[in-house]
Structure 1
Amino acid sequence: MTVKYTNDHEWIQLEDHEAAVVGITLHAQDALGDVVFVDLPEVGKVFAKGEVAGVVESVKAAADIYMPIAGEVTEVNEDLRENPSLANNDPMGNGWFFKILIKDMAEFDVLMDEPDYQKFLKEST
């Protein structure tokens, strides 16, 4: 499955040609520390690329979760709401935040792939 990354440290993974899963990267999780609360978007809400779609709070800080591409939220991770530590233990798996119906695949195509994201991390630290 194709995974892409944003400058704001969200990841987005295609499930099929029009659906994707969104979460925070391992780098974001490491920077935040122990996640204690997540505010997830409402199912059915439509976001533009870059809009704040949720909030994650940790013992260190709170951070906005930005929509990596335009889309409609189709599902949220209720397990994450109940157990925010999933974002610590498995941020790229069971710690996903929400699923979306993609509005514009061109926005997905221009996001960073894994090698570009790793290069971005090295250049930004």
Structure 2
Amino acid sequence: MANVVANFLYSKEHEWVEVIGEGRVRVGITDFAQHQLGDLVFVDLPQVGASVTADDSMGSVESVKAVSDIFSPVTGTVVEVNPVLEDEPETINSDPFQGGWMVVVELSDPDELNGLMNAEQYAAFTEEE
């Protein structure tokens, strides 16, 4: 079973969301997702200042198996991008919830967080897949 962090929120597209401050969240892909993808070799992320929209692609990850879209779980503006992933995309495989975070987003609509799953719901969701 994949690891799930208790106080994070999760999307059906296997992204996690950590609320880090007033109106800001950190986003990455889940342990379940990185296991499904295999060894990551490249990450394409949005630039700081880019607008992202919930459920729309905001970038991609490339593994030895395939290229997969990363879907934004929230709507807002990218205010930070993880610089480590440019040279070390495999960080997502080894540490998806800490070192492997992708972007920080300033939320346009904090109420969108209510539409995401909590850890218990996400764990049940992944068991069904």
TM over 0.5: yes
The residue number in structure 1 matching 2:67 is 62
Give distance in 1, aligned partners of 2:123 and 2:22.
25
The residue number in structure 2 matching 1:109 is 114
The residue number in structure 1 matching 2:98 is 93
| Structure 2 portions without partners, runs of 5+ | 1-5
Q: Does the 8 Å CA contact 2:7/2:119 hold for their aligned counterparts? A: no
Q: How far is 1:104 from its partner?
A: 0.8
Give distance in 2, aligned partners of 1:70 and 1:85.
26
The residue number in structure 2 matching 1:71 is 76
The residue number in structure 1 matching 2:13 is 8
The reply on whether 1:120 has 2:107 as its aligned counterpart is no
Runs of 4 or more consecutive aligned structure 1 residues displaced over 2 Å after TM superposition: none
Q: How far is 1:2 from its partner?
A: 3.7
Q: How far is 1:17 from its partner?
A: 2.5
Q: Does the 8 Å CA contact 2:39/2:90 hold for their aligned counterparts? A: yes
**Equivalent pairs: percent with the same residue?**
40
Give distance in 1, aligned partners of 2:7 and 2:122.
14
Q: Does the 8 Å CA contact 2:10/2:117 hold for their aligned counterparts? A: yes
Q: Which amino acid aligns with 1:7?
A: K
The residue number in structure 1 matching 2:34 is 29
**Which secondary structure state, in structure 1, belongs to the residue aligned with residue 9 of structure 2?**
strand
Give distance in 1, aligned partners of 2:125 and 2:60.
23
Per-residue CA deviation, residues 22-43 of structure 1 (Å, 9 max, x unaligned), is 0000000000000000001011
Calculate the TM-score normalised by the size of structure 2.
0.92
Q: Which among 47, 52, 66 is matched to residue 52 of structure 2?
A: 47
| Structure 1 portions without partners, runs of 5+ | none
Q: How far is 1:81 from its partner?
A: 1.0
Give distance in 2, aligned partners of 1:48 and 1:15.
19
